[in-house]
Amino acid sequence: MISNKMKVLVANSSTIRAMFEEGKRLANLYGAENVYDFSLGNPNVVPPDAVKEAIVDIVNEENPNVLHGYMNNSGYEDVRDTVATYLNNKYALNLGTANIVMTCGAAGGLNIILKTLLNPDDEIIVFAPFFGEYSNYVNNFDGKLVIVPPDTTTFEPNMEALKAALTSRTKAVIINSPNNPTGVIYSDSALKQLAAILEEAQKTFNTSIYLISDEPYREIAYDHATVPYPVHYYKNTFIGYSYSKSLSLPGERIGYIVVPSEVDDFNDIMGALNVANRILGFVNAPSLFQKVIGKCIESEVDVSIYARNRDLLYNHLTSIGFDCIKPKGAFYLFPKALTADDRAFCEVAKQFNLLLVPGSSFGCPGYVRLAYCISYEQIERSLPAFSKLATHYNSN
């Protein structure tokens, strides 16, 4: 018999499975090219050639016992050193090997951070709309997820609601910019306000409150937008980075955590992250892909492909009456549904072969998420379906 905790989680994940099954059913009926699946955040832009070249070179050059062997649970020291030096040059930081832990993507990173920090019933604050997996990750360590309601005019953190949510049990606040699902990049002024509020709360409660910046989309930014580096704003910051989107490598499970030396209880935290990586069963981030990162640290995917997709979809949707903030990053649009019930709206969209994700899955009912990391041609083909969906609502 499976655990009571897992029974609930399995039941909750049935929505995603149902969406996947529906996509397959529609593709069988109408042909894959006539089904417009905007439900998955799986990058369609190919990894840079440098990644393939690095894999071949590493496999040919390295001693196989070293390359495929166990290592320090925080990762290869030479790779952590390369990551630290790269970040120092890019963001004017003062990091070394000891500040970096290589992880199994952002998901692995977040889980070892939460394992490191949480006692049962400790509170983790998130801002709606948020990546739904946060609630599972917090639940893994018996923490309590506290959801700050959205500011739907900007989709930046709602500062007044944050102040009301902070308590003596607040262990950390998670932010995600560029954001999944809104595509918003948190501004310099938002980060300043956020930092001031957290400083104040630390004094009031005499606690350490950590800011966890979940950054798989840091490199996916458009129109020359800059993505502020949270370490410059608030001392107690963890950065959770991933190459899943920035190098289109989600299946390879590779990323890292940055913990600056100034963070409260730094030595204990680094020791705990190292042990958490081991005992959660990650043991260490994949060795071959750590080495790939060491060689490809300067590589990038072609973000202009996503920018072109964004423009095509955003321009069409807004021209037919959808209300939507123009995303500055990530590869999602988050328009308001054309009726208050976002789940019902997604069901109706399926009648036009459009697969969308309800905003309720991100703690933000009334909206829908569209992942535009699919081909430009497929988005072009989908536009008449969106027009028919809008007409359906306008004429009813």
Of 92-100, 103-111, 312-320, 383-391, which part binds ligand PLP (CB under 6 A)? 103-111
Q: Contact letters (x/-) for ligand PLP, 251-270, by CB under 6 A?
A: ----x---------------
Q: How far is CA 51 from CA 64, 219, 287, in A?
A: 19, 16, 14
Question: Is residue 359 within the footprint of ligand PLP (CB under 6 A)?
Answer: no
Question: Is residue 177 within the footprint of ligand PLP (CB under 6 A)?
Answer: no
Among 176, 236, 287, 299, binds ligand PLP (CB under 6 A): 176
Which of 166, 182, 87 shows the shortest CA–CA distance to 128?
A: 182
330: which 2 tokens? 């990530």
How far apart are CB 165 and ligand PLP at their closest, in Å? Answer: 20
35-54: contacts with ligand PLP (CB under 6 A): 41
d(CA 375, CA 37): 11
d(CA 218, CA 329): 8
Among 242, 248, 277, 382, binds ligand PLP (CB under 6 A): 242
d(CA 199, CA 191): 12
Strand, helix or coil at 340?
A: coil
Residue nearer to ligand PLP on the CB measure, 23 or 255 = 255
Residue nearer to ligand PLP on the CB measure, 104 or 162 = 104
Sheet of strand 332-333, all strands in order from the earlier edge strand to the far edge: 332-333, 368-371, 357-358
Question: Is residue 213 within the footprint of ligand PLP (CB under 6 A)?
Answer: no
Q: Contact letters (x/-) for ligand PLP, 8-37, by CB under 6 A?
A: ------------------------------
Find the angle CA(384)-CA(388)-CA(389) to the nearest 5 degrees.
115
Q: How many residues bind ligand PLP (CB under 6 A)?
A: 13
Phi, psi (rounded to 5 degrees) for 255: -170, -165
Question: Is residue 329 within the footprint of ligand PLP (CB under 6 A)?
Answer: no
Among 156, 214, 252, 342, binds ligand PLP (CB under 6 A): 214
**DSSP codes of every residue in 253-285:** --EEEE--TTSTTHHHHHHHHHHHHHHTT--SS
How far apart are CB 131 and ligand PLP at their closest, in Å? Answer: 4
Among 250, 294, 327, 358, binds ligand PLP (CB under 6 A): 250
333: β partners: 370
Q: Interface residues with ligand PLP (CB under 6 A)?
A: 41, 105-107, 131, 176, 180, 214, 216, 242, 244, 250, 255
